[in-house]
Amino acid sequence: MLALALGLGLAAPAWAQHDRPDCRPGEDGQLALFQDLYWRWVYGGLNLPVDGNSNAVVHNVVMMPIPNTPGDGTPGTQAVTLEAHQSWMLPFWNLLGTSYTDGTPPDQFLGLDVFKTLDIKFTVDGKTIVSTRNVMEYFSKFTYEPPVLLNSPPYLAIIWFEGVGILHGPLSPGTHTLQLDVKNTEKLPPNFGGGVIEYHNTWNVTVNPPK
């Protein structure tokens, strides 16, 4: 698995095939579009606007920051401030396929069973939104066109994405708690590290009242 340790690349704008799309939560295909933009922002030099709370945004949708946890089950927390009108996008558990500089064959898509068998629970203020029963409703799979070029041999480029996440509408003013507990129950193949990737992350969200 391509780890977050590769670091952030926030250089020149690069909207790829998405010419500043007018994306709205709930529309077909919008979650996949935001997953594409999210990881281009993290790894590919996509420069997103920043709001007054230091959040990266796309058309009033906040790209939620992720706690810096290693994926071994160590819990993490993240404080976030939103405005009352802002929707938000949050990745849960994702795999990024890559090509290589050393002649290693490119990664192939994994079977859907890895995602269908995720042990996952995501809650907003204690209410379960995503669980093992409906996880595939939050699943996206696509090929990156163009690939996301990396400057980190032996990785050449991110070529595909498979994963789950959420595109959520605005929260009411006040304080909210988002909780994610997720791990794979089907072991990953060796080229993705093998074994289990596990997260127990909490977001403490403050939503400012309308101005």
Task: Give residue-wise pLDDT tens across range 70-103.
Answer: 999 999 999 999 999 999 999 999 999 999 999 9
Task: Give residue-wise pLDDT tens across range 104-118.
Answer: 999 999 999 999 999
Q: What's the predicted TM-score (pTM) here?
A: 0.86
Instruction: Give the pLDDT of residue 211.
Output: 84
Averaged pLDDT of the chain: 87
**Which residues contact residue 151 at a Cβ distance below 8 angstroms, ignoring those fewer than 6 apart?**
9
Instruction: Give the pLDDT of residue 151.
Output: 83
84 with 170: CB under 8 angstroms? Answer: yes
Q: Alpha-carbon distance 177 to 112, whole Å?
A: 30
- Rounded percentage of the chain residues whose pLDDT exceeds 90: 82
